Amino acid sequence: MKKLFVFALAILAMVGRVRADEGMWLPMFVERLNYVDMQKMGLQLTPEELYSINHNSLKDAIVGLGSEAKPRGFFCTGEIVSEKGLLFTNHHCGYSAIQKLSSVEHDYLKDGFWAKNFSEELPAPEMTASFLIRMEDVTNEVLGVVTSDMDWTARNKAISTKIKDLEKAASEDGKYNPVIKGFFEGNEYYMFVYQVFPDVRLVGVANSSIGKFGGDTDNWMWPRHTGDFSIFRVYADKDGNPAEYSADNVPLTPKHHLPISLDGVKEGDFTMIWGFPGSTERYMSSYGIDYNVDTFYPIIIDIFGKELEVMDEFMQKDDAINLMYADNHAGLANTWKNFIGQCQMLRKNKVSEAKVGLENNFMLWVNRNNKEEYKEALPNLKEAYKSLGEVAKYIYYPNFVAQAGPAGVASMFSTYYDAYVSKDKEGQEAALMMLQAMDVDELFAETDQRVEKKLFAEMLKTFKAAFKAEELPEIYNIIDKKFKGDIDAFADNVYEKSIFATPESIKAFIANPKPKMIGKDYAYIMNTSMMEVIISHVPAYRQAMQTVSQNDHVFVKGLREYYADTQPEKSLYPDANSTMRMSYGSVKDYMPADAVHYDYVCTAQGILEKYVPGDYEFDAPKGLIDLIEKKDFGAYADENGDLIVCFLSTNDITGGNSGSPIMNGKGELIGLAFDGNWEAMSGDVNFEPRLQRTINVDARYVLFIIDKYAGATNLIDELDIRKSEPQPIREEEEVVE
């Protein structure tokens, strides 16, 4: 037993140690937890200059990009870079807004866009900019409503009610937007108070052949040559307050903006990244990892892969379709490749095995110290994930099929049809009024029937391939009997005859409803037959998910106590949950495999090497190619005359950090974080210090594109661009040749 415990401790030392570059830290604790380490690594700012609620600080330049007034989560991060509210973020972060602003005649994704003055800036649809005012520990208030006699459901209900009360009180009658979130699996709670600005406008973006150079092929890969940036501006009313779009609004005067450095990076330079990382699962059990890799991720990879094949087929042939589906395709492709990478790297990097070592060590401590509260957490998680593995495909596959094309539209008529069947006239009238108020055209916006029909058929085929014949729902009996098993013929029939296939047929039905027709409609039957599969497995699924949630809470509570007992010097950071975090590290290369070395920078020469004229991923504008071939880089070249496009750092980030500023020790912008690397795709579950790197677009490349390529000198003039003066060599330091 002693040898086993010593071995477990060795495993724990490998898994549990927090390196200087590991962790997404809450800024309010920077002085207590991180400042000394950061100072040693090269930070030159004071704690107050980093985070303060009483004075302007670096946090005031960090922006959460969302799409709603209540900032429950952010899809990306941005940073303010001028005294006039100018905002930098990634190209892929602005992608959705840019696509919505585009048309075939004015395709800003394909051609780029550069406003020469304020009046030319375009209101960005569905984009908000949130600034953090303060964060506050409310753990005692939230958990104060929990009593020992509450079950898990009652506990969560009481917590939810208390959170709503606290958020309402902190809003100051709507002046602020407070959000309270749980940390360490609900063992702590913090409130984040925001001001949300809904008037955000597009200022500048390069062609997608720059901003998305390398496409899906290069996604998550190094070396990378992607100019992943776009530029927006935040507007406010004349008093500087948040306001809906108005021609009378003015550019926001921010509390703080980031200067931009031309000094570039050297290996070992200190770096810090601030932003809103979306989600990590660093405390996930080995059972959760195995479930994801063996069951959940493969299902999503299968479904998304089929959808992407269909979109690609049409998008590469038709510019209008390409623009129409660009945003949807980008999101699907990113998740699809991410899950493929996680499946591969979680296994290759033996993350589950490392977690087993930690769990064994934890249980030895639990049993040795008679910690009864924690004894069943891991066994319960094992059983819960086993149950999830048994029911997952009966939830996820039919869910995607039920939403496909007309089947998804048909589901919106279920309340009306159910009221008709049950002869509930009052309910039927109320449901019809809801249907009459529906924006039918919006349901079909940015869709093409040819694409949708093939997606519809492929989802049915994908489902059929994943299940045994005896498990197939009623809709497949209809396809067999009426269409001789031909799913494509079935899809043709639905799109020709279904009430729910076109805006015109839906409007005609609502104008002259014949509810009996709904029950005979193949799209409706398809939806309901898939829902029957889901409903029959929902109780087991929900029970398993609740067991996971409850026992994750207990397990993480136990882990924190365990670490406090065995490694009191260890500081724990909470999982990312779309709240402001700070990570710090350094510029560094890496070796992904034996005899393979990746430098920490890549240059514009790599664009020439990858360039394939006419290729939808590796084409590049002639103007850019000419500048690179002439080495016409202006002030943005490094000391060797090269133009650095991207660089690597050891910062700990995840999705949501896209667009985050990466800064030097002075708090100057040196680049924008936009990706992680393939070899560390397991990083959301376990930080991989030897392999894990953040890919950043160099600030000098951003400025080069704005200035030399786009000629948007009005923006260059607005920025605070800095370059350090060369330090004189003291006499005793002179080099003798």
Residue 154 Ramachandran class (φ > 0 left, ψ -120 to 50 alpha, else beta): alpha
d(CA 114, CA 706): 9
> What is the C-alpha separation between 273 and 62, in angstroms, rounded?
10
- For tokens 């940390």, name the residue: 183
Quick one: angle between helices 377-402 and 351-368, nearest 10? 140
Choose, from 228, 327, 521, 575, the residue flagged as catalytic: 228
CA distance 537 to 533: 7
697 in Cβ contact with 671 (< 8 Å): yes
Cα–Cα distances (Å) from 728 to 44, 725, 733, in that order, read 21, 9, 10
Which helix H or strand E contains 275, and what residues bound it?
strand 270-275
Assess contact for 667 and 51: CB atoms under 8 A: no
How many CA atoms does the CB half-sphere of 27 hold within 13 Å?
27
Nearest C-alpha neighbor of 660 from the set 723, 577, 589, 581: 581
Q: Please indicate whether residue 658 is annotated as part of the active site.
A: yes
Question: What are residue 563's phi and psi, to 5 degrees?
Answer: -65, -40
Rounded to whole angstroms, how far apart are CA atoms 642 and 698? 12
Cis peptide bond prior to 726, omega within 30° of 0: no
Phi, psi of 184 (to 5 degrees): 50, 50
Cα-trace Rg, the chain: 27
Give the separation between CA 465 and CA 478, rounded to whole angstroms. Answer: 17
The answer to whether 299 touches 700, Cβ cutoff 8 Å, is no
- In the Cβ-directed half-sphere of 89, how many Cα atoms lie within 13 Å? 35
DSSP state of 729: P
Task: Tell me if residue 228 is catalytic.
Answer: yes
Angle CA(293)–CA(298)–CA(299) in degrees, nearest 5?
130
DSSP string, 119-187: GG-EEPTT-EEEEEEEEEE-HHHHHTT--TT--HHHHHHHHHHHHHHHHHHHTTTTTSEEEEEEETTTT
* Catalytic site residue from 130, 658, 660, 682: 658
Sign of the C-alpha dihedral computed for residues 591, 592, 597 and 600 taken in this order: negative
Going from the C-alpha of 445 to that of each of 399, 406, 532, the distances in angstroms are 22, 14, 29
361-375 residues labelled b (16+ CB within 10 A) or e (exposed): bbbebbeeeebeebe
Choose the catalytic residue: 21, 82, 92, 218. Answer: 92
What is the b/e burial string over 565-603, where b = at least 16 CB atoms within 10 angstroms of the residue's CB?
Answer: eeeeeeebbbbbbbbbbbbbbbbbebeeeeeeebebbbb
Please state, in angstroms and as integers, the Cα–Cα distance from residue 6 to each residue in 1, 171, 238, 568, following that order.
9, 52, 66, 19
Start-to-end C-alpha separation, the chain: 64
Rounded Cα gap, residues 68 and 55, in angstroms:
28
294 is catalytic: no
For residues 31 and 47, what is the distance between their CA atoms, to the nearest angstrom? 6
Measured CA angle at 587 (ends 583, 589), to 5 deg: 120
What sign for the dihedral angle of Cα 688, 355, 281, 37?
A: negative
In this structure, the chain runs to a length of: 737
Two tokens, residue 80: 């303010």
Where in the sequence numbering do the catalytic residues fall?
A: 92, 228, 658
